């Protein structure tokens, strides 16, 4: 599993940039295209998803490496249903396959659990483990995506010489 830490590096979505995509967008696209599935979790800000998440999703609208990809949505604050609903609606609109059985609510708000605390919590670790196993099983029902090469993949082009 890879945690993609470059969402904050993406420029604000701008259709005018599509003719010559910035390197950070190409890197993001190639990581998505190479992924078997995506796990997305967004805090709720003013009843919506964060601008960072929405901006990242906007860069994936119409991107062929995203269409049909299986996605699990993790909601770390069960009271925050607006962002969760909005995220699912956006993903459905973008032709992602939301795997409902792997999309779970985690009662983390106010728990002050760090990563180790989550691992030590039987409830939280169990819920996440079950969600990952369910997503894995859903992925195995489809042909592998791993070998997908996005034409804009700078790393692949470098390897190809
Ligand atoms: C700008 C801003 C807006 C927020 N809006 C909402 C909201 O509409 N609904 C909600 O349930 N929580 C809202 N929150 C709380 C966050 O979703 C999140 O639960 C809180 O920041 C705790 O995050 P942490 O677990 O990373 O500490 C907001 C927080 C911030 C900073």
User: For 76-105, what is each residue's pLDDT tens digit?
Assistant: 998 999 999 999 999 999 999 999 999 999
Q: Is the pLDDT of residue 160 over 60?
A: no
Atom of ligand 1 nearest to the CA of 79: 11
At residue 157, the pLDDT reads 41
Indicate whether 148 belongs to any domain: no
- Tens of pLDDT along 27-61? 999 999 999 999 999 999 999 999 999 999 999 99
Q: Residue 159 falls within a domain, yes or no?
A: no
pLDDT score at 144: 73
| 2 lies in some domain | no
Radius of gyration of the chain (CA): 16
Question: What is the enclosing helix (H) or strand (E) of 98?
Answer: strand 97-98
Ligand 1 atom with the smallest distance to the CA of 47 is 8
45 lines ligand 1 (CB under 6 A): yes
* Residue 30 falls inside a structural domain: yes
CA of 45 to the centre of ligand 1 (A): 5
pTM, entire model: 0.88
Residue 81, ligand 1, Cβ within 6 A: no
Q: Whose CA is nearest to atom 1 of ligand 1?
A: 45
Residue 110: which domain range?
A: 14-142
| Domain at 86, CATH number | 3.40.50.360
152 falls within a domain = no
User: Which tens digit of pLDDT belongs to each residue from 106-130?
Assistant: 999 999 999 999 999 999 999 999 9
126 burial (CB, 10 Å; 0-12 / 13-18 / 19+) is exposed
Angle at alpha carbon of residue 56, lines to 44 and 60, rounded to 5°? 130
Q: Ligand 1 pocket check: which of 42, 44, 108 to mutate, most ligand atoms within 8 Å of Cβ? A: 44
| Number of domains, the chain | 1
């Amino acid at each position: 599993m890879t945690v993609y830490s470059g969402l904050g590096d993406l420029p604000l979505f701008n259709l005018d940039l599509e003719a010559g995509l910035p390197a950070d967008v190409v890197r993001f696209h190639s990581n998505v295209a190479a992924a078997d599935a995506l796990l997305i979790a967004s805090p709720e800000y003013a009843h919506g998803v964060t601008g960072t998440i929405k901006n990242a999703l906007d860069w994936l609208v119409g991107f062929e490496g995203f269409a049909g990809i299986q996605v699990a949505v993790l909601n770390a604050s069960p009271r925050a249903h607006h962002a969760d609903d909005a995220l699912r609606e956006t993903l459905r609109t973008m032709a992602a396959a939301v795997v409902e059985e792997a999309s779970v609510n985690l009662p983390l708000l106010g728990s002050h659990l760090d990563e180790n605390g989550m691992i030590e919590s039987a409830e939280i670790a169990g819920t996440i483990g079950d969600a990952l196993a369910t997503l894995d099983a859903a992925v195995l029902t489809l042909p592998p995506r791993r070998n997908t090469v996005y034409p804009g993949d700078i790393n692949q082009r470098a390897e190809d010489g």
